Amino acid sequence: TQKIIIDTDPGQDDAVAILLALGSPELDILGIVAVAGNVPLALTEKNARKICELAGRTDVPVYAGASRPLVRPLITAEHVHGESGLNGPALPEPALPLQAQHGVEFLVEALMREEAGTVTLCTLGAMTNVALALNREPRIAGRIKQIVMMGGGFFEGGNITPTAEFNIYIDAHAAEVVFSAGVPIVMMPLDVTHKALTTPPRIQAFRELNTPVGTATAEMLEFFERYDVDKYGSLGGPLHDPTVIAWLLKPELFSGRECNVEIETGSALTYGMTVVDWWGVTDRKKNATVMRDIDADGFFALLVERLGRL
Ligand code: BDR
Ligand code: CA
């Protein structure tokens, strides 16, 4: 099994990513750390607990991390995810308690405790917690196996500004810390996730699982896709965050290449842009494996199969 920590701001697509991990016996989830993002921290940590309970997995510890980005004020996305961050299904208030330890403390402690090179960080939101952990204990950089992250975009552009993707935009300073830390990074940008669309038949496949998880997933995705279908005029919304977990399970669903990626933090116009040297036109050091393509049917088949186990 692979040891992972999920850092997340649920978010319906974060929720589906967590469910995919919970339904996959190859993954040993050491903890889930919430970060402020789609909605404020008090909601993201609660939503993470709701999802663990939905899956009947109250053995996974949930921590609360940073309540705001490193430098800028928090920007949230209720217009996409709804007031709760998880609009769609009616999920009960969670009984699963939040861990008392701060999420950043947990990250540092877990990475210093576990054997070096064995723990993968999966980041599904702004990278504030990881940046804070790296600043607090720089030795963790040499101990993290890899960071698999959803964020950024290059040929596809941005989704919150013409050049910036939401997770990078809300804390570009944190992303800059992470991308320059020397940790191997696998990046799932909009170029991938905009090809993973929640079309009506794909949502129907979750509903047909006929389980609480399947029904809640269909309801989450129906809510979530509304905004994006209007925005992009596509047949469904992009299912961003589960691509991170899917790569750990079936990397052959994805293709990309190793490139240099730098984060723009200076420009007013392009703040939060991921500057990807896809064509290798600089001699800057390659610091990330950037994905560009996905087998979307294979991805949704994996999701249905794994969520079906919960
Ligand atoms: C990212 O932003 C969030 O709204 C989603 O959960 C995803 O992580 C997509 O830009
Ligand atoms: Ca997210």
Both tokens of 215, joined, read 């029904």
CB of 194 within 6 A of ligand 1: the answer is no
Q: What does pLDDT average to in each consecutive run of 10 residues of the chain (310 residues)?
A: 98 97 98 96 98 97 98 92 90 96 98 98 98 98 98 96 98 98 98 95 97 97 74 81 98 98 97 98 98 98 98
Choice from 43, 79, 148, 166 to test ligand 1 binding pocket (greatest atom count within 8 A of CB): 166
Atom number, ligand 1, closest to the C-alpha of residue 166: 10
CA geometry: angle at 188 spanning 255 and 265, to 5°? Answer: 130
Residue 14 Cα: closest atom of ligand 1: 6
Task: Please tell me the predicted confidence (pLDDT) of residue 290.
Answer: 98
pTM reported for the whole predicted model:
0.97
DSSP code at position 139 = G
Closest ligand (CA of 48):
2
Catalytic residue numbers read 240
Residue corresponding to tokens 């217009």: 79
pLDDT at 80 (0 to 100): 86
Q: Would the CB of 165 count as within 6 Å of ligand 1? A: yes
Per-residue model confidence (pLDDT) at position 247: 98
Length of the chain: 310
pLDDT of residue 109: 98
pLDDT of residue 230: 65
Strands 261-263 and 274-276: antiparallel
Q: Which two tokens mark 296?
A: 């979307």
Ligand 1 atom closest to 160 (CA): 10
Q: Which amino acid is at 157?
A: G
3-state secondary structure 240-271: CCHHHHHHHHCHHHEEEEEECEEECCCCCCCC
Q: Is the ipTM of this complex over 0.95?
A: yes
Tell me what pLDDT residue 232 has. Answer: 67
For ligand 2, an ion, list residues with CB under 5 A: 9, 11, 14, 124-125, 241
Assess whether the previous peptide bond of 11 is cis (omega < 30° from 0).
Answer: yes
Cβ 123 under 6 angstroms from ligand 1: no
| Per-residue confidence (pLDDT) for residue 235, from 0 to 100 | 78
Q: Is 11 in the pocket of ligand 1 (CB under 6 A)?
A: yes
181 with 134: CB under 8 angstroms? yes
Confidence (pLDDT) at 224: 79
| Ligand 1 pocket, residue 13 CB under 6 Å | yes
- For residue 233, the model assigns a pLDDT of 67
